[in-house]
Structure formats: structure tokens, C-alpha cells
């Protein structure tokens, strides 16, 4: 009897607290479910944010979520990466072929025609031209898509503009062929060895400056680096804060620096002259378009900046 009493006492001692706990848990079950649901709602954006940060290996635009974790939204929308289309890829391939044809026509072709062995300086000039023009239209096509239609080009719309383009291209080809031919025929001559030190070292300043200015100007324009059409905005910062047409200036610096590099000072002045004549007519056409599009804003900008060089006073 004592054993039975002793065996039932612990049983009563264990079942009474369990019953109390069961009653408490049943009564607080709705509140616990609500707390768990709220906790999942709060913690889910944090997990999503950590996963996104781990996937991108970089923090978001702000580096921190907004004040309310439940309404987590990025302060800046994620930039959509444009998918390359077959038309876009064809334009890129066509641009590479055009760039190769231009460099071969201007630099490598004349050297190969007049010499069995292409000099090292000619290869360096070809690499410079590939870099220069590659950071221009080719890089713009890769980053922002194809240029505007040629039909919308204001210069091509008139016969005078078409004639100016043809004359400019022919003179550029003749000038480069003359420079490369003269260098290949008279390399190491008496006149080349005793040139003025200023003319010998001036290309070392002009050519890198032309490349740097061209890259800076095209990067500043972005998508606005296009044919002669009305842009979406008037760019007034970067190199355009000092002059209106730094890209044209970089072209003239490239051609003149190349002529000096190959020891042809007279061709340097010649190419500078007809580049200035061609770009002057193009600038006038561009000024009409910009004045019609932006009005007084462009007039005020034009009064404080020079065309090809910064206005000093």
C-alpha cells in the first residue's frame, strides 16, 4: 500500500504542471502564431538583401536598407543590362571591319606598298589609330547601340555637305599616304637626323594629348556622340565647359602629330588647314541645329566658350 502511494504521488506531481502548461500553450497559441508571422515578414527582406549582396559581391546603391525593413526597397532601381541583338552584333562587326580598313588605308597600306618591311614606327602609328578610333564610334556602338540613321544627318541631307565629306576623306587619305611614303623613302636621311628638337619631341605631347582629349570628350557625350542630329540635351561639362568641339580638336591634333612624328612638317600645316576648313563648315551646320533646339541656352553657352580652343578672354 505504501508502495502504491509512493508510485502514484510522483505521477500526480508530474501531470499537474504539464496540464497547466498545456492550458497556457492553448490559450497563447494565436498570439504566438501572429508573432511568428510578423517575425517572418520582418526578417525576409534582410535575407533577400544578404542574398543579393552575396550574389553581386557589392552593396546596394546606399549600402543599407531603408528605415522600414518590412517595406525594403532600393533607393535606386537596378540598371537593366541591354541584351545584344543580332542587329547590334552585326553593327559591331561592321565597325571592326571599317576600323581595320581605315587603318590599313591610311597607315599600313602605303608603308607596305613602298617598303618590303613595315617599320616599327608605322606599326605604332597603326596601334595609335586603332585605339583612337576604337574609343570613338566603335566603343559608342558597343555601349549605347547603333548610331542614328544616316538619313537624319543634317550634313548628308544636302549636296554641299556630301561634297565636303568626300573632299575631306580624299584629302585625308592623300595626306597620310604622302606622309608614310616620304617616311619610308627617306628614313634615316640627313634631314631627319638634324631636325629641330622641338619638332622631334612635339609629337610626344600632341599624340597622347589627342588620345586623352578624344576619350574624355566621347565619354562625356555618351549617347549624344552621334551623327549630326539634334541631341536630347546640351552637354556643358567636362571638356565642353571650355570649348564647343573638343572632338574636332582631337582629330586635328592627331593628324598634325602624326605628320610631325614622321618628319613631314609641311604636311602637318596642310592637314591642319583643310581639317580646319572642313570642321568650320560642319560647326556652322551644327550651330543652327543646336540653336533651334535649345535657343537662348545655346546662345549663352556659345558666348562663353570657343569653337576648337578655350576662350581666354
pLDDT (0 to 100) of residue 255: 95
Task: Look up cell 618628319; give the residue.
Answer: 263
Angle between helices 159-185 and 246-261 (to 10 degrees): 30
Count CB-CB contacts under 10 A for residue 29. Answer: 10
> For a pLDDT cut of 90, what percent of the chain falls above it?
40
pLDDT (0 to 100) of residue 263: 84
Average pLDDT (22-50) is: 51
Average pLDDT, the chain: 76
The answer, yes or no, to whether residue 39 has pLDDT greater than 70, is no
Q: How far apart are the first and last CA of the chain?
A: 120
Exposed, middle or buried by CB within 10 Å (0-12, 13-18, 19+), for 306?
A: middle
Task: Give whichever of 56-65, 198-207, 297-306 has the largest mean pLDDT.
Answer: 297-306
Instruction: Give 152's pLDDT tier (boundaries 50, 70, 90).
Output: confident
Angle between helices 120-133 and 159-185 (to 10 degrees): 160
Instruction: Give 40's pLDDT tier (boundaries 50, 70, 90).
Output: low
Average pLDDT (188-217) is: 79
The answer, yes or no, to whether residue 62 has pLDDT greater than 80, is no
238-271 residue pLDDT tens: 999 999 999 999 999 999 999 999 988 888 988 9
By the 8 A CB rule, do 256 and 268 touch? yes
Is pLDDT larger for residue 150 or for residue 178?
Answer: 178
Task: Give whichever of 53-57, 113-117, 151-155, 250-254 has the largest mean pLDDT.
Answer: 250-254
pLDDT (0 to 100) of residue 82: 52
Amino acid at each position: 500500500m505504501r508502495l502504491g502511494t509512493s508510485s502514484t504521488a510522483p505521477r500526480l506531481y508530474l501531470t499537474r504542471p504539464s496540464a497547466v502548461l498545456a492550458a497556457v500553450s492553448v490559450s497563447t497559441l494565436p498570439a504566438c502564431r501572429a508573432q511568428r508571422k510578423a517575425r517572418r515578414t520582418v526578417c525576409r527582406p534582410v535575407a533577400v538583401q544578404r542574398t543579393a549582396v552575396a550574389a553581386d559581391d557589392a552593396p546596394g546603391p546606399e549600402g543599407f536598407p531603408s528605415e522600414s525593413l518590412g517595406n525594403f526597397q532600393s533607393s535606386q532601381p537596378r540598371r537593366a543590362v541591354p541584351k545584344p541583338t543580332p542587329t547590334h552584333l552585326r553593327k559591331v562587326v561592321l565597325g571592326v571591319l571599317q576600323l581595320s580598313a581605315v587603318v590599313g588605308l591610311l597607315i599600313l597600306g602605303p608603308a607596305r606598298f613602298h617598303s618590303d618591311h613595315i617599320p616599327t614606327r608605322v606599326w605604332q602609328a597603326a596601334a595609335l589609330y586603332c585605339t583612337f578610333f576604337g574609343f570613338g564610334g566603335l566603343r559608342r556602338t558597343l555601349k549605347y547601340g547603333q548610331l542614328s540613321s544616316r538619313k537624319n544627318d543634317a550634313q548628308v541631307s544636302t549636296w554641299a555637305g556630301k561634297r565636303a565629306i568626300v573632299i575631306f576623306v580624299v584629302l585625308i587619305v592623300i595626306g597620310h599616304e604622302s606622309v608614310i611614303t616620304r617616311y619610308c623613302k627617306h628614313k634615316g636621311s640627313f634631314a631627319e637626323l638634324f631636325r629641330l628638337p622641338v619638332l622631334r619631341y612635339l609629337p610626344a605631347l600632341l599624340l597622347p594629348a589627342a588620345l586623352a582629349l578624344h576619350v574624355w570628350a566621347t565619354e562625356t557625350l555618351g549617347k549624344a556622340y552621334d551623327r549630326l542630329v539634334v541631341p536630347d540635351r546640351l552637354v556643358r561639362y567636362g571638356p565642353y565647359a571650355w570649348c564647343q568641339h573638343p572632338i574636332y580638336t582631337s582629330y586635328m591634333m592627331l593628324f598634325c602629330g602624326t605628320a610631325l612624328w614622321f618628319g613631314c612638317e609641311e604636311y602637318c600645316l596642310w592637314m591642319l588647314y583643310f581639317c580646319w576648313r572642313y570642321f568650320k563648315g560642319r560647326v556652322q551646320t551644327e550651330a543652327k541645329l543646336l540653336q533651334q533646339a535649345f535657343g537662348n541656352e545655346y546662345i549663352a553657352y556659345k558666348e562663353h566658350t570657343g569653337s576648337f580652343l578655350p576662350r581666354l578672354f
